[in-house]
Amino acid sequence: MIRILAFVAALLCVVPAVAQPLPANLDKANAIVIDTTKGRIVIKLRTDIAPKHAERIEQLAREGFYNNVPFHRVMDGFMAQTGDGQNFNGTGGSKYPNLKQEFSQVPFKRGIVGMARRGDSVDSANSQFFIMFADGSSLNGQYTVVGEVVSGMDVVDKLKKASAGSPGGAVTDPDKMVKVQVASDIK
């Protein structure tokens, strides 16, 4: 019963987001729209610098892999991570093989979207990604930049953050990506 009420509440939060127009001049074929429990986030995918990673995110969005997936790791002043549609806790990936890194000279700054990876292996990105709250120059050249938020950073800022001392920035009762779509697929 509690899950049903939570689902209904999440849907009510998404309804206003669905009515929002997409940014002008957005290349809808290379953008994803994330309707969250806090509102809508629109990400321009950087197919020019990370074509394989952008293609993977679009593929998983079209398969519904990202729907109802939590922002499992949210560290205030750093980043919000999501994309584990397998285990929903940051330990999983997709059924597809890991991707070879596509590093670029694009710096990690507020609004940049990067691909998460496992440990020290630069070629281990799969499905998880993170959105930067602030500059993170220590990540430059270490992680693949796959996109940039073009609308909805105010929504990212509202995501529930990990409490102080939470191991690895894990969030208790996290906000979720309710529905993720490639912008050109929205009717």
Cα separation of 51 and 32, whole Å? 14
Report the CATH superfamily, name and number, of domain 2-20+28-185. Cyclophilin-like (2.40.100.10)
Determine which of 10-24, 82-96, 169-183 has the lowest per-residue pLDDT on average: 10-24
Radius of gyration for the chain, computed over Cα atoms and rounded to the nearest angstrom: 15
pLDDT tens figures, 10-31: 444 444 444 578 888 999 999 9
CA-CA-CA-CA dihedral for 41, 47, 51, 52, to nearest 10: 10
Q: What percent of the chain has pLDDT over 70?
A: 90
End-to-end CA distance of the chain: 32
Give 102: exposed, middle or buried? Use CB within 10 Å, 0-12, 13-18, 19+.
middle
CA dist 150 → 37, 38, 85, 129 (Å): 18, 16, 24, 16
d(CA 33, CA 180): 6
Query: pLDDT tens digits for 125-154?
Result: 999 999 999 999 999 999 999 999 999 999
Give 125's strand partners.
99
What is the DSSP code string of 33-45? EEEESS-EEEEEE
Q: Is the pLDDT of residue 4 over 60?
A: no
How confident is the model over 155-159, as a mean pLDDT? 98
What contacts 18, CB < 8 A, 6 or more positions away? 35, 40
CA nearest to 130, candidates 76, 79, 174: 79
